[in-house]
Amino acid sequence: MSPVESEKVVYMDNNATTRVAPEVIEEMMPYLTEYYGNPSSMHSFGGQVGEALKVARQRVADLLGADPEEITFNSCGTESDSTAILSALQNYPEKRHIVTTRVEHPAVKHLCDTLDTLTGHKHRITRLKVDEDGMIDIEEYKAALTDDTAIVSVMWANNETGVIFPVAEMATIAKERGILFHTDAVQAVGKIPINLKELDIDFLSLSGHKLHAPKGVGVLYVKRGTLFAPFLAGGHQERGRRGGTENVASIVGLGKACELAGKMMEEENTRVKNLRDKLEEGLLASVPKSLLNGHKTERLPNTTNISFEFVEGEAILLHMNRFNICASSGSACTSGSLEPSHVLRAMGVPFTAAHGSIRFSLSVYNTEEEVDFVLEKMPAIIESLRQMSPFWKGD
Ligand code: PLP
């Protein structure tokens, strides 16, 4: 890592994780200090803690347009994804087909890749294609559904590009065919309005640390009436749906974060979106051979993924690090592979562009000054790297 020359952190990596909101920390603290009872205990000391879980459950349900009984707390988005898919396969053992997409987060992608080993049964997985905007083809989706399909698992919004899939329509189509529908909404919750009462979604995954709650807490929504099999058998916690003593403080924090997200939804879709647009337009205008990855409009308000052709994403991040600017790259050299991201490959982004892709993901804590700072620094960073690139022939 190069030395950091700037004191102030400019954090634009909110799709990786978010800052815990001060209001969330304040609400959590009593449950880390004085209210340490077990919510399952018979005494009223523990009972108070049980009451706090109730409040949190209601707050999560309110953000999603769900009923509190449809909310099960767990450890993370990955657990929610696994639980939903494995539950469907366990309840419908005669069905061995899953429909998903080529651009899912590893939480779904790797589960599907390893499902046969995990379950000891052979499954057929259809991974839907996306076009150059990262968008799904509904006709291909309809054609993929069969009587053997146990579950559809399609993310609501993509973590790398922010592209939003038409999950409402896709869920209705699945419902008409009597097929369960799961959506990984880890990136969507808190950023776009969701009303599950109006939707045919059976399972929805969310994760606390993506919406200003702590890491290590998540939720699986299960629609009332949908057959369910727990992933973690154990005690009677979560009405027998998820064994294990509850992560009380984090659940309380998640409840508060959901309440805040509901209140800040408008700001997210106006001020944050405007900042994102300013950043995106500024970069595309000031850096030659830069391209937007992902649909122009069907996109989360906080995310932009831009390729700077003929330079390496990791190298760009290292240079940005000198100025304490935090973002992510779509190439995967850090994981020992020279392959760019599976999402950008599925979209057909050319090799020379996919390697130089950077995802900026903003939050309500970002300011216009920060966007201006990034816009001031990026052109020179890209230009200096291109001067060293054997592929760069000038613009
Ligand atoms: N799904 C998506 C779309 C994500 O972006 C992430 C995290 O990056 C996850 C699932 C996994 O969530 P968690 O880190 O809570 O397991």
CATH class of 22-260: alpha beta
| pLDDT reported for residue 339 | 77
Please tell me the distance between residue 75's alpha carbon and the centre of ligand 1 in angstroms: 11
CATH topology for the 10-19+264-388 domain? Aspartate Aminotransferase, domain 1 (3.90.1150)
- The number of residues making up the chain comes to 395
The reported pLDDT for the residue numbered 1 is: 57
- Pocket probe mutation, ligand 1, options 187, 191, 203, 220, max atoms within 8 Å of Cβ: 187
Nearest CA to ligand 1 atom 9: 77
Could you tell me the distance, in angstroms and rounded to a whole number, from the CA of residue 108 to the centre of ligand 1? 9
Tell the residue nearest (CA) to atom 5 of ligand 1: 159
Torsion of CA 372, 279, 17, 3, to 10 degrees: -50
Q: With contact defined as beta carbons under 8 Å apart, do 128 and 155 qualify? A: no
Ligand 1: residues with CB < 6 A are 76-78, 105, 107, 155, 159, 184, 186-187, 207, 218
Q: Given this model, what pLDDT does residue 391 score?
A: 76
Residue 247: which residues within 8 A CB-CB, separation 6 or more?
73, 75, 216, 217
Q: Where are the domains of the chain?
A: 10-19+264-388, 22-260
Counting as low any pLDDT under 50, the low residues of the chain are 333-335
Backbone angles phi, psi at 280, to 5 degrees: -60, -50
Give the pLDDT of residue 335: 47
Q: What is the mean pLDDT of the chain?
A: 95
pLDDT in tens, 10-38: 999 999 999 999 999 999 999 999 999 99
Residues noted as catalytic: 333
Tokens 């634009």 appear where? Answer: 12
pLDDT of res. 44: 93
**Same topology between domain 10-19+264-388 and domain 22-260:** no
Cα distances (Å, whole numbers) of residue 309 to 334, 375, 389: 19, 17, 10
Rounded to the nearest whole angstrom, what is the distance from the C-alpha of residue 390 to the centroid of ligand 1?
36
Q: List pLDDT tens digits, range 185-234.
A: 999 999 999 999 999 999 999 999 999 999 999 999 999 999 999 999 99
